[in-house]
Amino acid sequence: MREGYMRNHLEDPELGRVVNRYVTPGGRYKKLSYRKLMRMAPEERLRFGRAFAEDARLVTDDELRNLLDYEWRARRTAAWLIGLDRRTRFREQLGELLLASEMAYAGKAYCFALARFGTEEDAQVLIAYLGHYLPQVDLSYDQADALGALQFIDAKIGTHHAARFLQEGGLWHRWAHPESRLTAPPLLLRDIHDLCTLADEWMAA
């Protein structure tokens, strides 16, 4: 199941407060994608990023858990907040949510957060995801973002984990559409590299 609501924030005042505080102002959750961010004017993107970085420092772990227990907009925003502040204590939960793939649109954010953490442990989470979903060639979930994040971690820590999927005739080539630029590994790496660079800039501002 890739969509759905686990709770109703209109019936849960605390959840409603957290959603209204971190997720919906200015349509924040809608802007958390490579294309939306890169289409912003530099000044607008910096203002957005500084406010987001401030929230990443202020949000509590309990508030993040509330968001991760809700629907895709909240989960997407929570994962970005976690990634920005590198709260690695959420690694296991993000990995479980990524592998479960219960809701569309949130998985990209989990991959972003894991790339921001950028350790061997995070690589193993992504390897488990790709190993599970790439053989399912009829499913197009977050395989592309997971590969981009894995390549990013490889480049950061000097490993070669992505190579096992990218070898000729391997799992990636059986799953991906060769004619599509959207699944070209160099572009997937570029996208996550650019997002993590933005995150560094926002958190340093």
95-154: per-residue pLDDT in tens?
999 999 988 899 999 999 999 999 999 999 999 999 999 999 999 999 999 999 999 999
- pLDDT per residue as tens digits for the range 169-183: 899 999 997 656 678
Q: Residue 195 falls within a domain, yes or no?
A: yes
- List the domain range (segments joined by +) for residue 200: 13-204
Q: Do 117 and 88 meet the contact criterion of CB atoms below 8 Å apart?
A: yes
* Residue 19 placed within a domain: yes
pLDDT band for position 1 (cuts 50, 70, 90): very low
- Give the residue carrying structure tokens 């509330």: 66
Is the pLDDT at 187 greater than 50? The verdict is yes
Q: What's the domain count of the chain?
A: 1
Contact 81, 59 (CB under 8 A): yes
DSSP symbols for 53-92? HHHHHH--HHHHHHHHTS-HHHHHHHHHHHHHTT-GGGHH
Asked if residue 52 is part of any domain, the answer here is yes
Could you tell me if residue 6 is inside a domain? no
What is the average pLDDT across 154-162?
A: 98
Percentage of the chain beyond pLDDT 70 is: 92
Give the whole-angstrom CA distance, residue 173 versus residue 189. Answer: 16
Give the C-alpha separation, 77 to 56, whole Å: 10
Residue 147 contacts residue 129 (beta carbons within 8 Å): no
Of the listed ranges 1-10, 51-60, 81-90, 167-176, the least confidently predicted one is 1-10
Q: Is 8 part of a structural domain of the chain?
A: no
Is residue 7 a part of any domain in this protein? no
